[in-house]
Amino acid sequence: MTQAPTQVPASAATIVFDLDGTLVDTAPDLINALNFVLDREGLPPVPLQSARTMIGAGARKLIERGLELEGRLAGPADITRLTADFIDHYAAHIADLSRPFEGLEGALDELASQGYRFAVCTNKLEWLSRRLLDQLGLSARFAAICGADTFGVSKPDPQILRQTIARAGGEVASAIMVGDAGPDIGVARRAGVPVIAVGFGYTEIPIAELKPDRLIHHMRDLPDAVEGLIASQNNAIRD
């Protein structure tokens, strides 16, 4: 029996990725920057493994969480000062230890050969995101790289995802979000976009509990997850 053609062709589909914990394992450099700031405040370092789940809501929130671990509270002015110090240090060491997750580039190659376009939607600042992806040789793969400062909103506000898709030249109706944590699931749901979650990222809540449309545990499984998700969408349309 001949399979019916898909109603959402790859050439029309945009795959939007979170950055930290999804595309790139950035935790070592982020936590090193956090510990640099904490050390200047006379506080002990945060262990990398226990701090991984603190990542994902931006530098300011990461610093607040780091201080809270030591029972320290800081006012808005102090957090602003510490955030500036954090960003200065992080920008200078942004790709010392950060690396793409295993299988990422092969997955992107396979999906690109099928006509998909890619974008990045992150709560990281845009210029830091670009610097990181530049240093890792990944920037050219993405039609748009958008951060929390690009449109003045951050995830899970749906406008950041909708505008990222538009900037990449795509349509919300034929987009897929890929992320590792609650803000990614939330922004996708609010924007009406299906979401694939990765099980190797940074999240306090087990990602399966957030009920993504698909869940993968290695980037090599991403092309199959995308194909399956689009097939299920098209079947729903036909039904």
Q: Are strands 195-198 and 24-25 parallel, antiparallel or unpaired?
A: unpaired
Angular region, 84: left φ>0, alpha ψ -120 to 50, beta rest: alpha
Token duo for residue 27: 């935790």
Three-state secondary structure call for residue 74: coil
- CB-based contacts of 216: which residues, under 8 Å, 6+ apart? 196, 197, 198, 199, 222, 225
Q: Which of 18, 20, 25, 180 is catalytic?
A: 18
Q: Tell me 5's DSSP state.
A: P
Token duo for residue 163: 């505008």
Task: Kindly state the helix (H) or strand (E) to which residue 32 belongs, with its residue range.
Answer: helix 27-40
Contact between 187 and 161 (Cβ < 8 Å): yes
Contact between 86 and 63 (Cβ < 8 Å): yes
Q: Is 134 in the active site?
A: no
Q: Which residue, 135, 187, 184, 129, is CA-closest to 158?
A: 187
Q: Which residues are catalytic?
A: 18
